[in-house]
């Protein structure tokens, strides 16, 4: 099941990509947010006959896959080639950082370069959308907490992140 949010910024509606057509799910689900991303929603949507849903214009804007997320957590330097390519040291522990939820936007939305940004950089990442509350979850049980996956444009201002000391969030919330 491929869910998405389509429409003008702030007025997106939930849709499903079904048989290469974007179909309107808004009569069944008002939004994809922390209140609706859960097992109950997933089970409900499995019962919807997507063929009967109204087809939407495929040329309209695609929004962020989730609205109003509580957290956007990330792991830095998470693969060897990136560590080597950035002339960084291979971490012995995961580098965890937050991104401001205000930086979340649609995949084709214009990236707004911050004033005084000098080293804007980007990476394509896979994101995991968590659909259940979790704490102290074993590696074997982790997949049971995943609602879905999406692609993320990870935009960074490297000078703010690496040359100005402190936490990464100031360079990672672009």
Owner of token pair 């995991």: 128
What is the model's pTM? 0.85
* pLDDT at residue number 170: 72
The rounded mean pLDDT for the chain is 92
Summarised one tens digit per residue, pLDDT across range 20-37 is 999 999 999 999 999 999
Secondary structure class of 111 (helix, strand, coil): coil
- CA distances (Å), origin 136, targets 141, 156, 165: 10, 30, 31
**Hey, is 56 helix, strand or coil?**
coil
SS3 148: strand
- Closest to 41 measured CA to CA, from 32, 50, 49: 32
Predicted confidence (pLDDT) per residue in 35-55, tens digit: 999 999 999 999 999 999 999
Q: What is the pLDDT of residue 166?
A: 66
């Amino acid at each position: 099941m491929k869910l998405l949010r389509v429409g003008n910024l702030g007025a997106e509606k939930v849709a499903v990509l079904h048989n290469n057509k974007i179909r309107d799910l808004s009569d069944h689900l008002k939004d994809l947010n922390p209140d609706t991303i859960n097992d109950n929603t997933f089970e409900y949507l499995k019962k919807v006959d997507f063929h009967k849903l109204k087809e939407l214009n495929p040329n309209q804007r695609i929004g962020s896959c989730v609205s109003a997320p509580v957290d956007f957590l990330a792991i830095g330097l998470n693969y060897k080639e990136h560590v080597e390519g950035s002339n960084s040291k291979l971490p012995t522990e995961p580098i965890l950082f937050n991104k401001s939820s205000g930086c979340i936007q649609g995949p084709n939305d214009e990236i707004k370069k911050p004033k005084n940004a000098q080293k804007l950089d980007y990476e394509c990442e896979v994101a995991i959308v968590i659909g259940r509350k979790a704490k102290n979850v074993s590696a074997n049980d982790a997949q049971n907490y995943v609602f879905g996956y999406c692609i993320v444009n990870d935009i960074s201002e490297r000078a703010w992140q690496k040359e100005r000391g402190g936490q990464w969030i100031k360079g990672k919330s672009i």
